[in-house]
Structure 1
Amino acid sequence: MSLIYEDLVKSLDSKQQAYVDLKLPDPTNGEFLLAVFHMIPGGDLNVLQAAAEIAAESSTGTNIKVSTETAFSRTMNARVYQLDLERELVWIAYPWRLFDRGGNVQNILTYIIGNILGMKEIQALKLMDIWFPPSMLEQYDGPSYTVDDMRKYLDVYDRPILGTIVKPKMGLTSAEYAEVCYDFWVGGGDFVKNDEPQANQDFCPYEKMVAHVKEAMDKAVKETGQKKVHSFNVSAADFDTMIERCEMITNAGFEPGSYAFLIDGITAGWMAVQTLRRRYPDVFLHFHRAAHGAFTRQENPIGFSVLVLSKFARLAGASGIHTGTAGIGKMKGTPAEDVVAAHSIQYLKSPGHFFEQTWSKIMDTDKDVINLVNEDLAHHVILEDDSWRAMKKCCPIVSGGLNPVKLKPFIDVMENVDFITTMGSGVHSHPGGTQSGAKALVQACDAYLQGMDIEEYAKDHKELAEAIEFYLNR
């Protein structure tokens, strides 16, 4: 240990010493959830003192040593086990036995991004990456109904699932909303979602919206011969109303697989997410991340990264979560942030910002897990008849400022097609209307699949040609 680190350790008081172990022998032995924070101390504390206070507040301690701690309670202490002074990074190991053994994600977050984000001893504190050991993954739900199940239902493979968000965001009646769904589906689209504020407004009663969407879907399926999916926002003021909306949808006559439940995971809460996962394991659980920017924007000094949010969504059992457009669309984000997050939740093994996460529930050196990782990287469907071995994938959902012209650029950045794209204005603002916008999106996808430049392909496809002319001038 260098002199500077020795001096930092000597500066700790007796309480802080209990939360620091820069010689922790094996942080990846399965006992710990590991976390990396970007941290700038505040006040009179040095970096290790501040890190120790964070480890205490986010596990067993408080600001002053108490006489009620026990020999056992001290084994539950989080420990600062690594520092990078140049990059202002702190690694903390949390004994995962601290957490509610009911697979409770909100309980973990209450610890590791709870009170500590409000501590006056820090100027900046952002959780950049986390690592879950296999022994911990065993305790959590993970996804049940995945994008692979949706692909099987839609009979759509080797391309993105093409979706839209109904626009205007709000103000359409139930019948008008259903009409937009119908137009998109008849134009060739696969997937329609409620926008995140959709609820039970007086001009668009929820029960009528559900009934009309069912009629519009039936008509579109009959006319196109293709299955369709609609994602309904079931976020509500209370538990009973949320479940009432779910039951309304399941009892409306929809074919299993043709509907998803959208939950505003941050504003509605992790309890709502996990309730839906456990009550409706055979329904695609669509996590909308409204309000995430308050925590995840890169310039924010306090909060957590897109990667961390996305990993917890997978842990909680979301089938899919919005992961950003990597700078291609209108939302803030970069490939280094958004694509890393997307890959981390869709692959069995993928590097993060600091940790390589393997989502296996057994040792990742096991030959069967190694085979699964290789199958996964080859884009084969895995965990169909051996789901005990690992946590299933969570699908990146991509929205915000995309249009048919930007489909291939995003695929190139994403480096795969295993995502759902939900273009809103990029479909509905098409000069020919929603049906033409949907056709242009399908044509842009066909051009990609055939390896053709979209401008060349557009010579024989009017809707795509109109889209290129319209959106390239925007």
Structure 2
Amino acid sequence: MMSDDRVFATYWIETAFPLEQAAATMAGEQSTGTFVRVPGETDALREAHAARVESIEDLGEVAVPSLPGSGLPKTGDTTRRAARVVLSWPLVNFGASLPNLLAAVAGNLSELKAFSGLKLIDLTLPPAFLARYQGPQFGVAGTRRLAGVYDRPIIGTIIKPSVGLSPEATAEQVRVLVEAGVDFIKDDELQADGPHCPFDARISAVMRVINDHADRTGKTVMFAANLTGEIDEMLARHDHVLAEGGTCIMASMNSIGLPAMKVLRAHSQLPIHGHRNGWGMLGRSPAIGMSFIAYQKLWRLAGIDHTHVNGIDNKFCEPNNSVIASARECLTPMFDAPHPGCEIMPVFSSGQSARQAAPTYAALGSVDCMFAAGGGIMAHPGGPAAGVRALMLAWDAAVAGVPVEQAAQDSPELAAALGAFGG
């Protein structure tokens, strides 16, 4: 580890204190200092270990505090300002450790009384992290190879109802979907190993269907089996998926944590579909938490191969510009050459249909993604096969620069999709 390696973190802040003072408070709180100078905090120690304020960009006044509980300076000034602040830390403070990195760049910052808003926006990490963390094992290229899909998005869907189906009923739904021509199917994040649908029984039933379909057609549909659980359970469940011929596993990232994901990645011989459920608690507020840009970098290093980024005109609260920024970031290398880029496949989901193919491609500029539709496939008037066909045709038209309404003139499946999903 080079002694001059540093971690950089970018924040949005809101405070009534002078911006320079507020930024210095952040740096001190998360490195060598506290609210007063303490014995042992020598100049030499501060020089070697103190966080640095790299830059401050004043973003102007704000009318009211975004969060409750913030304080005011002794001057009595009530004017609050927003700013973009970049801090850096020497890597020697915490080493190449994602849990301890998170304690430094997030930690107690959001509780500091000087701030009425503070959000982690981005992280820039030194390549030293690659000496400890493996990053994605399959990424875009490996996922495409296992799914057998090239030069277009991987078209996917999800098992619904989320819970309540037996292993046999789940397998029957999978049979309908694989015969419809879908590329990728995932468990719902709520379905892991419940007593009504035990993991081993479900995966065995599902893989009998997928393997039979592969024997007949040559296409092995990728099924992301939700193995979320305790570490020993996840490793055993991975082994069961592998033994049954499965080609993907899924884990709820916020439920298992970064260290467990690192262990799973080291053990896994399959792509890891990282489900971000719970991310809204971190990302929804503009005044607290962290952006998905920063969040996904941690999980990429820990070893996921794909993750959800929401979708254009989705059913949730995330705006389109945030969705696309997240997807682009997944496909952007984390480190400069010659180090591995750690790119992962973004998964568009949440209320997606043939309507969103063109705007998604126009904004992303790439077909390196999964495009997952539940109702957009299962609720198609012509049935699931027509739903899958409509999505593929919509993407073909988008890449060719043909308006989707024009393409629909030659495709009853696409025309029906546009009629059914016109909102």
Q: What's the TM-score, normalizing by structure 2? A: 0.87
Q: For 1:253-292, what aligned pairs fall within 5 Å after superposition?
A: 254=245, 258-280=246-268, 282-292=269-279
Q: Secondary structure at the match of 2:310?
A: coil
Q: 2:329 is aligned with what amino acid?
A: S
Q: Does 1:40 align with 2:28?
A: no
The CA deviation at 1:333 is 2.9
The aligned residue for residue 206 of structure 2 is 213
User: Using a 3 Å threshold, how does the CA distance of structure 1 residues 458 and 283 change in structure 2: closer, same or farther?
Assistant: same
2:335 matches 1:359: yes
Partner of 1:199: 192
CA distance in 2 between counterparts of 1:137 and 1:200 reads 33
Could you tell me which amino acid in structure 2 is paired with residue 406 of structure 1? Answer: Q
Tell me, yes or no, if the aligned pair for 2:234 and 2:264 is still in contact at 8 Å.
Answer: no
Alignment check: 8 A CA contact 1:397 1:419 kept: yes
Alignment of 1:336-351 (within 5 A): 336-348=321-333
3-state secondary structure, aligned to 2:100: helix
For 2:211 and 2:49, locate their aligned partners in 1 and report how far apart those are by CA, in whole Å. Answer: 55
Partner of 1:56: 28
Point out the more displaced range, 110-119 or 51-60.
Answer: 51-60
- Please name the residue that 2:98 is paired with: 105
Counterparts of 2:149 and 2:358 in 1: how far apart (Å)?
A: 18
CA distance in 2, matches of 1:338, 1:199: 27
Which residue pairs with 1:443 in the alignment?
393
Alignment CA distance shift 1:468-1:100 (3 Å): same
Which residue of structure 1 aligns with residue 352 of structure 2?
A: 402
How far does the alpha carbon of each residue in 1:436-458 deviate from its partner, in whole angstroms, 9 at most, with x for none? Answer: 32233233334445554444444
Q: Deviations over 1:358-403 (max 9, x none)?
A: 513xxx5xxxx5xxxxxxxxxxxxxxxxxxx323311111111101
Distance between the aligned counterparts of 1:66 and 1:241, measured in 2? 46
1:265–1:272 CA contact under 8 A, matched in 2: no
Aligned residues: 398
- Partners of 1:261 and 1:283 within 8 A in 2: yes
In 1, Cα distance between equivalents of 2:6 and 2:278: 29
For 1:171-190, list aligned pairs within 5 A: 171-190=164-183
Matched residue type, 2:182 = G
Aligned with residue 249 of structure 1, among 241, 249, 260? 241
Letter in 1 for 2:325: V
The 8 Å contact of residues 96 and 136 in structure 1, kept in 2 or not, is answered as no
User: Partners of 1:72 and 1:184 in 2: how far apart?
Assistant: 64
In structure 2, how many angstroms separate the alpha carbons of the residues matched to 1:460 and 1:223?
Answer: 30
Distance 2:194 2:36 in 1: 50
Q: Which residue identity lines up with residue 267 of structure 2 in the other structure?
A: R
Matched, 1:85 2:58: yes
Deviation at 1:163, TM superposition (A): 0.7
Contact kept, 8 Å, 2:313 with 2:320, in 1: the verdict is: no
Q: 1:187 to 1:447 in 2, by over 3 A?
A: farther
* Corresponding residue SS for 1:182: helix
**Match runs of 1:281-320 below 5 Å:** 282-297=269-284, 299-320=285-306
Q: CA deviation at 1:46?
A: 3.0
Q: Relative to structure 1, is the Cα distance of residues 51 and 458 closer, same or farther in structure 2, using a 3 angstrom cutoff?
A: same
Identity over aligned residues, as a percent?
29
Displacement, 1:194?
A: 0.9
CA RMSD of aligned residues (A): 2.3
The one-letter amino acid paired with 1:246 is: H
Contact 1:143 1:315 in 2 (8 A): yes
- Secondary structure, aligned partner of 1:441: helix
Per-residue CA deviation, residues 274-297 of structure 1 (Å, 9 max, x unaligned), is: 1111111x3111111111112212
Provide the rounded CA distance (Å) in 2 between the counterparts of 1:273 and 1:113. 20
Amino acid at match of 1:339: I
Aligned pair partner of 2:372 in 407, 419, 422: 422
User: Separation in 1 of the partners of 2:42 and 2:303?
Assistant: 35
Which residue does the alignment assign to 1:393? 343
SS state at 1:323 partner: strand
Structure 2 residue 153 is matched with structure 1 residue 167: no
Q: 434-443 vs 208-217, which deviates more?
A: 434-443
1:289-338 deviation per Cα after TM superposition (whole angstroms, max 9, x unaligned): 111112212x431111111112222222211121222x432233345433
Offset of residue 70 of structure 1 = 5.3
Q: Which deviates more, 128-137 or 404-413?
A: 128-137
Closer, same or farther: CA 30–432 of 1 in aligned 2, 3 Å:
farther
Q: Summarize the Cα distance change of 1:146–1:76 in structure 2 as closer, same or farther, 3 Å threshold.
A: same
State the SS of the aligned residue for 1:88: strand
Return closer, same or farther for 1:70/1:174 CA change in 2, 3 Å cut-off.
farther
- 1:143–1:318 contact (8 Å) kept in structure 2: yes
Label 1:447 to 1:90 Cα distance change in 2 as closer, same or farther (>3 A).
closer
Relative to structure 1, the CA distance from residue 434 to residue 208 in structure 2 (aligned partners, 3 Å threshold; closer, same or farther) is: farther
Task: Check conservation: 1:56, 1:77, Cα contact below 8 A.
Answer: yes
AA at the equivalent of 2:259: M
Q: Structure 2: how far apart are the matches of 1:245 and 1:264?
A: 14
CA contact (8 A) 2:332 2:341 kept: no
Q: Indicate the residue corresponding to 1:18 in structure 2.
A: none
Change (3 A) 1:50 1:449: closer
Q: Contact between 1:76 and 1:98, CA under 8 Å: does it hold in 2? A: yes
Gaps of 5+ in 1: 1-28, 349-357, 370-388
Q: Secondary structure at the match of 2:289?
A: strand
Structure 1 residue identity aligned to 2:146: Y
Q: Which residue of 2 aligns with 1:372?
A: none
Which moves more between the two structures, 227-236 or 402-411? 402-411
Partner SS state of residue 136, structure 2:
coil
Superposed CA deviations along residues 130-156 of structure 1, whole A, max 9, x for unmatched, are 212345544432212222012123332
Which SS does the other structure have where 1:85 is aligned?
A: strand
Match of 1:13 in 2: none
Q: What secondary structure, in the 3-state scheme, does the structure 2 residue paired with 1:196 have? A: coil
Deviation at 1:224, TM superposition (A): 3.2
Q: Which amino acid aligns with 2:90?
A: P
Deviation by residue 1:95-128 (Cα, 9 ceiling, x = unmatched): 1222244xx3222112211221222221100011
Structure 2 CA distance for partners of 1:224 and 1:442, relative to 1, 3 Å: farther
CA deviations over 1:160-196 (Å, ceiling 9, x no partner): 1111111222222211212222222211111111111
